[in-house]
Amino acid sequence: MSFEGIERFFVQSWLSFKALFGWIEPKTYFFVKVLNPIFQLLFFCLLAKYSFKTNDLTPWVIGNSFLLCIYNSIFGIGHVFVMDRYAGTLKMIIAAPFNKFLTFFQRGFVHIIDSLSTVAIGLIIGSIVFNVSFSNISIPIFIIIALVAMFSVAGLGLLLGSFGLVTSSMNFIANIVSMILIALTGANFPIETLPNSIRIISYCLPITRSIKAANLLMNGGSTQVIYSLIVKEIFVGIVYIALGYMFIIITEHIAKRKATLELY
Amino acid sequence: MKDSVICVENLYRDYETTKGWLNKKKVIVKALAGISFEVKKGEIFGLLGPNGAGKTTTIKILSTLLAPTSGESRVLGYKTFGEENMIRQHINFIFGGELGVYRRLSGRDNLVYFSNLYKIRKNIRDKRIDELLELVGLSEKGDLKVETYSKGMIQRLQIARGLINDPEIIYLDEPTIGLDPIGARELRDIIKELSLRRKTILLTTHYMHEADELCDRIAIINKGKIVALDTPVNLKKQNRITSVLEINVLGIYDKELEEIKKIEGVETVAVKKNDQWQLILIQFKNTHNITQNVLNVLKNNTVISVNERGALLEDAYVRLVGGSI
């Protein structure tokens, strides 16, 4: 990619994020990206405290902080085509010669960065309220784990978003997927306690391995295992992105046949 | 046609929908029922027709956004479904209304975003954006957010967006809808300017005077079929043996309209509804004098004015499409 191509990537990423998301405005940002996630985190951590009768809430603070990226990665990225449809700009994007998947990927990029800020807010609030200490761990490795987790969930968001070309019910789909992530990624219930068949689903989901790696890091687990989990998480993200790429080609074709590009 | 850039042959498009909740039934709506036409390079070609006639469906197919059910549509020699990547760099479209631009971005940022979708080099892009903002009269407001724009300004920005890739073929779907008379006039001037630059333009509109002023040829489309295709002059000539009686009345009933239709020499009757009165447009053979007979039918109505004139393009349209305007 040329220098101009790289510049174009960042310009498009920023413009599309600014164009489609209202939380650029500080008030909306505060409610959607700060206050709401804090209460979600508090709810699940308090639930765990009383259900599991424990005072060490480290796994729940980490798991649920990671899950806060759902706002960006599932609802944000998953809705880009739908939001373009409502802005009346979807047909301009589809009829332009630029690769649709790249257009879509550019839009996901700022979401990954933005979701990191939400995750950081969750970790800071969680550590203050529930006395979780990060003093004895490698912060760079923790940041890498968080970044890989965001990348991987963004991959799932891209796959979901491709369905926006053929359905107007993305909210319904995004809600189901976010509930699956909350229940099955190990953020709230240890994966070992899930039935075998459900466990398979857990390991097909993004973020599961990142939560496991972060918890291992907090507990001083094997670095080898942590690195292996990080690599596997990247692979999961790549698989979802590849599926998203394929599905965009397929759904664009279906959308033109079934006239769903302007389905409200 | 040898120098055609758009070729449409026997094009059909059906829309499938369902009726009912538990016992769903498939319903097929025929939007296009076998239309054929060709557009030459540099031509302004008009598609006229009532709502639901198939105009927008035709434009969507030609702009690679919709697959035809059957038949063939080619742009610059390539199929619009299957070979769309060969076409997209050379076309663009402008739909009427306030949608189609990002309201939270400035006018300039919108143009930057859409030009990047066409991979236009930065130096060309920035120069072209300045030129386009100048062309549509938004140079001074280009850095303001679109949400602060008036309807007319949004429409002008849409035009700049539609020209961002310097397209060879431009589709304009009711581009002046909702514009004030001055805004509409300015837009028509831009269309004429584009035509001088040998751009091919396919235009749909409801405004007959607009089609008459701009189009080299016009296809009148009704219920998915082309019912006439000719130059505006020839379409009007088809109506040379008819005259039009315009009567403004306060209140008119269907029964009275039916009676007028029965008067000897009357060909079509259409009604334009205004806020307080109705304008009855009666096309009749100019070998007959129908004025007194019509006024007899309307003897119980308040007739505001009566005027007889020669046929216009609008009258040719009414004659071909029938019904109200």
B62: closest chain A residue by CA: A95
**Segment A92-102, tens digit of pLDDT:** 888 898 888 88
Answer yes or no: is A153 within a domain.
yes
A5, closest residue in chain B (CA to CA): B119
Which residues of chain B form beta strands (DSSP E)? 4-19, 25-40, 44-48, 70-75, 78-79, 91-95, 169-173, 200-205, 217-222, 225-230, 242-250, 266-273, 278-285, 302-310
Residue A52 has pLDDT above 60, yes or no: yes
A103 CB within 8 Å of a chain B CB: yes
Which positions in chain B touch A106 (Cβ < 8 Å)?
A: none
CA-based nearest residue to A71, from A14, A28, A102, A105: A28
Tell me B149's DSSP state.
S
Confidence of residue A22 (pLDDT cuts 50, 70, 90): low
Q: Which residues pair with B38 in a beta bridge?
A: B7
Contacts of residue B322, Cβ cutoff 8 Å, sequence gap at least 6: B222, B268
The sign one gets for the Cα dihedral A32, A70, A116, A63 is: positive
Contacts of residue B308, Cβ cutoff 8 Å, sequence gap at least 6: B243, B244, B245, B246, B291
The answer to whether residue A40 is domain-embedded is yes
Over residues A20-42, mean pLDDT? 80
Residue A158's domain spans which residues? 3-258
pLDDT tens sequence across A116-126: 888 888 889 88
Residue-wise pLDDT tens digits, B20-61: 777 788 888 898 999 999 999 999 999 998 888 899 899 999
Query: Is residue B169 a contact partner of residue B42, using CB atoms and an 8 Å limit?
Result: no
Amino acid A263: pLDDT: 63
Q: Name the stretches of chain B with pLDDT < 70.
A: 1-2, 239-241, 322-325
- Average pLDDT of chain A to the nearest whole number: 87
Phi and psi for B14 in degrees, rounded to 5?
-110, 145
Calculate the alpha carbon distances from B96 to A122, A240, B206 in Å.
45, 38, 12
Query: What is the share, in percent, of chain A residues with pLDDT greater than 90?
Result: 27
The DSSP symbol for A31 reads I
Q: What gap in Å lies between CA B67 and CA B82, rounded to an integer?
A: 9
Mutation for testing the A interface, residue in B15, B66, B85 having most A CBs under 10 Å: B66
CA angle A126, A127, A128 (to 5 degrees): 90
Question: What is the model's pLDDT at position B39?
Answer: 94
Ranges of beta strands (E only) in B199-287 are: 200-205, 217-222, 225-230, 242-250, 266-273, 278-285
Residue A4 contacts B where some CB pair is shorter than 8 Å: yes
What pLDDT, in 10s, does the model give residues A168-225? 788 889 999 999 999 999 888 888 888 999 999 999 999 999 999 999 998 888 899 9
Q: What six digits make up the tokens of B173?
A: 């779907």
Q: Could you give the number of structural domains in chain A?
A: 1
Does residue A263 belong to any structural domain of this protein? Answer: no
Residues of chain A with C-beta less than 8 angstroms from the C-beta of B85: 97
pLDDT value at position B325?
44
Q: Which of A15, A19, A97 lies at the smallest CB-CB distance from B89?
A: A97
Nearest chain A residue (CA) to B60 = A91
A259 contacts chain B (CB < 8 A): yes
Q: What was the pLDDT predicted at B320? A: 76
**CA distance, residue B21 to nearest chain A CA (Å):** 17
- Which of A1, A7, A8 best probes binding to B when mutated, by most B CB atoms within 10 angstroms? A8
From the CA of B68, how many Å to the nearest CA of chain A? 8
Give the model's pLDDT for residue B10: 93
CB B46 within 8 A of CB B214: yes
List of chain B residues whose C-beta atoms are within 8 Å of the C-beta of residue A257? 67
The predicted structure's pLDDT at residue A206? 93
The reported pLDDT for the residue numbered B183 is 79
Full-model pTM: 0.81
Q: How far is the C-alpha of B128 from the C-alpha of B109, rounded, in Å?
A: 13
Task: Report how far residue A78's alpha carbon sits from residue A71's, in angstroms, rounded to the nearest whole number.
Answer: 10
Contact B56, B204 (CB under 8 A): yes
Tell me the shortest Cα–Cα distance from B117 to chain A, in angstroms.
Answer: 5
Which domains are assigned to chain B?
4-236 (3.40.50.300), 238-321 (3.30.70.260)
Res B72: pLDDT: 92
pLDDT at A68 over 60: yes
